[in-house]
Structure 1
């Protein structure tokens, strides 16, 4: 079954279930009709036995045979294995073999089959032992009408069941094909995407909302996310190639210049120092790229207040305002250090003193703020400065790779937080909308909001 197409398996399962249901329903109807017909035969037998029993003597003689025959049944009296009296259509041959007769009490027996048509007439017999050592009274009623009705009912139920099963299977096959047709269409379109076709989306009907259409919407969302990821990767490779080209070109030019003519030891020392600076820049750029590629995250609380004090001391910043406690989740310890280091490096490199650092809790958030008195960023640059290798024109001559804020944004947004850049009353936000109001001063302010850790005592 696993090798068959899905719609064949669905139809086969549906047909099997329908066959079982039709058999159960037909069997129930057949049994109820047979029960009703058998009740009529049982009533006739009961009345005939009640009428004939008083007429039978101890030796099996019948005092009023005409009266017994008037019951409309076939009857026999058997003693010592032979028929001693009979009436109706019964002959002197026992209706029922003596071995089947009850030793005491009574028994109802059927002679002849309902489906096997033979010379014998099907009858229902009531055999009664009149006394412990006395004769048996056998009363039989004919079953022709009852058996004919049941045969007709059986044939009609069988025909109706077969037709119903065939129609149900045909309808089930059409429904299964109709339900799976969008899946096959999705498969063809996915095959085109796998062959390299760009910008293709699955054709999902707009007027339907079922499991298949939800699958189509999910696949379209996945395709969109995949294309965005590929586009980011392509842009990242292009930007990285552009940024790596400059230090590599400088390295090559310095080496060629050093080889162009003989130099003294001091000149070679200066050239080596310049080459070392270029190599350091390449090493830092590679480290920044690796950190962007491998964010880890953490569910353990991180003491942001302690890390802020350490970062401020490492950067020589005296203006530190820390409120205790300030525990955050979503980032690992080293990732919070990287966020603080990048923000403080940017403030010291591109801003102006004084630089301040604060850490506090506001509702469900831990808020980190870095301020400086520099000129800040233009409004349009505020909204794009977190892109990889994005820098202000005046900052390109300074050291740095242009990856600091990009890494900060990636870490903060992946932790479920928000990064804000504010300058001169203009604001740009990245990540979730935390709902914490922004400051409206003229200083350059970078704000990081991280989910606050709830500590249960």
Structure 2
């Protein structure tokens, strides 16, 4: 139930409960302390009266109550002198009806003793002080001097204090709760300001951020955390927008070419050779669309998590040769030449994902063919080298090279480097490797992909050598 209440109400209730406990404890302390102080004052008065009466008894040798009657107020104080058997030797009129102490208690008094008792003739409970004394006479006798005072005034003072506590306590609790309500509102006001600023941030102002208070406390950390989250969201939205833009740009060209080839083939009657040429062009553009669709699927899968890999032993020479063979027809049409440099006979097998590795080579070859120089046939060189812990793939062309901004800026994934380069970068990152771009001094571009490979146990080295022999 409390969890459904607003935070300000919950804070006020918690503050009110804490103040109620504090006020109750403080009231109890004051009440007990006040009662103790009043009782201490009564005891001091009784001690003074007992000392004065006992002194008068020792000095004058006669009954002290008769000698010092003016010192005793019959309405507020009273006294008796008792024998050990309980007989009353002397008494004040207020308590003359009966002894204030029983014979058993009187015989047990050997030192000053305080007690609270009901005394005949006194309406309120009385505080008594019993002191052993020596009675004057021809034969000295032992006796007990009992002085007392009613506790009615003390009880009345405590009653008034309790009444004040019951009246002032709730008032103080209400005032403190109202102060807690105001304090909670003041504490939550910066949170409300941050909420309003966050609500005001819209798609039209993606770069707007929350104001960080200069307090350095939890609110400042909250504002910084929300700003960091907004930055990540903005970057994600920008990447998404760049991805959509790049995908649209990449898909628009093959679709337009495919449509143009089909419209040209059906515009007028064509011969067999012309129809075959149109169909081959349509097939080539269709293959390109299929490759783009596969690349888009790769990007979509990486947005939901790390790109899954299925590692297995891969023969690098065969993989490079098959990748080049898939582009021979297109290279011939573009007056380009694809050269494959296979590694040596040793260490040509690596544990990689063959499907992803083929995607790397296909994207790099496609990028090289699209950017070959317009004058003369271009030469595209593919190579692979296996080291102890990595495979290094390189694709070099004689085209225009990469834009300077692409070589210096932080890789963005899908903004200026194109969809194919983005796929290569993501697959390399999934393998734990990296891709680097460079322009050659003699002209052209060089793409280097380094893919770490796990170290194979010695027991598996023989099987790799047999596979290479069969290849």
**TM-score interval for Structure 1 and Structure 2 normalised by the shorter chain:** 0.5 to 0.7
Does 1:187 pair with 2:195?
yes
Kindly state the Cα deviation for residue 403 of structure 1 after the two structures are TM-superposed: 1.7
Q: Kindly tell me: are residues 197 and 303 of structure 1, through their superposed partners in 2, closer, same or farther at Cα, counting changes over 3 Å?
A: closer
- Alignment equivalent of 1:229, drawn from 220, 232, 236: 236
Task: Give the match's secondary structure for 1:10.
Answer: helix
Q: Kindly tell me: are residues 110 and 199 of structure 1, through their superposed partners in 2, closer, same or farther at Cα, counting changes over 3 Å?
A: farther
| Contact 1:11 1:176 (8 Å CA) reproduced | yes
- Alignment equivalent of 2:91, drawn from 87, 91, 115: 87
- Alignment equivalent of 1:337, drawn from 352, 357, 367: 357
Does 1:241 pair with 2:248?
yes
2-structure distance, mates of 1:361, 1:142: 105
Q: Mind listing any 5+ residue stretches in structure 1 that lack a counterpart?
A: 53-62, 113-118, 129-136, 392-401, 426-440
Kindly state the Cα deviation for residue 285 of structure 1 after the two structures are TM-superposed: 0.8
- Alignment equivalent of 1:356, drawn from 374, 383, 387: 383
1-structure distance, mates of 2:415, 2:393: 23
- Map 1:54-133 to 2 at 5 A: 66=65, 74=78, 87-88=91-92, 90-91=94-95, 108-109=115-116, 120-124=123-127
2-structure distance, mates of 1:256, 1:237: 28
- Could you report, residue by residue, the CA deviation over 1:48-81 in whole angstroms, capped at 9, with x for unpaired residues? 99999xxxxxxxxxx9693899896546899xxx
Does 1:220 pair with 2:227?
yes
2-structure distance, mates of 1:41, 1:361: 100
1-structure distance, mates of 2:51, 2:229: 84
Kindly state the Cα deviation for residue 20 of structure 1 after the two structures are TM-superposed: 0.9
- Alignment equivalent of 2:436, drawn from 399, 404, 420: 420
Does 1:173 pair with 2:174?
no
Which residue in 1 is equivalent to 2:215?
Answer: 208
| Contact 1:68 1:87 (8 Å CA) reproduced | no
Kindly state the Cα deviation for residue 26 of structure 1 after the two structures are TM-superposed: 3.1
1-structure distance, mates of 2:27, 2:355: 72
Task: Give the match's secondary structure for 1:370.
Answer: strand
2-structure distance, mates of 1:173, 1:241: 57
- Identify the range of structure 1 (14-23 vs 367-376) with the bigger mean alpha-carbon deviation: 367-376
Task: Give the match's secondary structure for 2:250.
Answer: helix
| Contact 1:371 1:445 (8 Å CA) reproduced | yes
- Could you report, residue by residue, the CA deviation over 1:136-161 in whole angstroms, capped at 9, with x for unpaired residues? x9974322454455456556666775
Q: Mind listing any 5+ residue stretches in structure 2 that lack a counterpart?
A: 54-61, 132-144, 324-339, 373-378, 457-471
Q: Kindly tell me: are residues 30 and 306 of structure 1, through their superposed partners in 2, closer, same or farther at Cα, counting changes over 3 Å?
A: farther
Kindly state the Cα deviation for residue 172 of structure 1 after the two structures are TM-superposed: 2.8
| Contact 2:81 2:91 (8 Å CA) reproduced | no
Which residue in 1 is equivalent to 2:342?
Answer: 318
Task: Give the match's secondary structure for 2:216.
Answer: coil
| Contact 1:75 1:88 (8 Å CA) reproduced | yes
Kindly state the Cα deviation for residue 367 of structure 1 after the two structures are TM-superposed: 7.6
Task: Give the match's secondary structure for 2:21.
Answer: helix
- Map 1:368-447 to 2 at 5 A: 368=392, 370=394, 372=396, 374=398, 376-383=401-408, 388=414, 402-412=418-428, 418-424=434-440, 445-447=446-448
Task: Give the match's secondary structure for 1:357.
Answer: strand
Task: Give the match's secondary structure for 2:226.
Answer: helix
Aligned length: 396
Normalised by the length of structure 1, the TM-score is 0.63
Kindly state the Cα deviation for residue 289 of structure 1 after the two structures are TM-superposed: 0.9
| Contact 1:319 1:357 (8 Å CA) reproduced | yes
- Identify the range of structure 1 (221-230 vs 142-151) with the bigger mean alpha-carbon deviation: 142-151
2-structure distance, mates of 1:419, 1:345: 15
2-structure distance, mates of 1:69, 1:49: 12
Q: Kindly tell me: are residues 205 and 230 of structure 1, through their superposed partners in 2, closer, same or farther at Cα, counting changes over 3 Å?
A: closer
Task: Give the match's secondary structure for 1:141.
Answer: strand
2-structure distance, mates of 1:35, 1:321: 104
- Could you report, residue by residue, the CA deviation over 1:16-56 in whole angstroms, capped at 9, with x for unpaired residues? 2122122213322432343344355567779999999xxxx
| Contact 2:81 2:90 (8 Å CA) reproduced | yes
Task: Give the match's secondary structure for 2:437.
Answer: strand
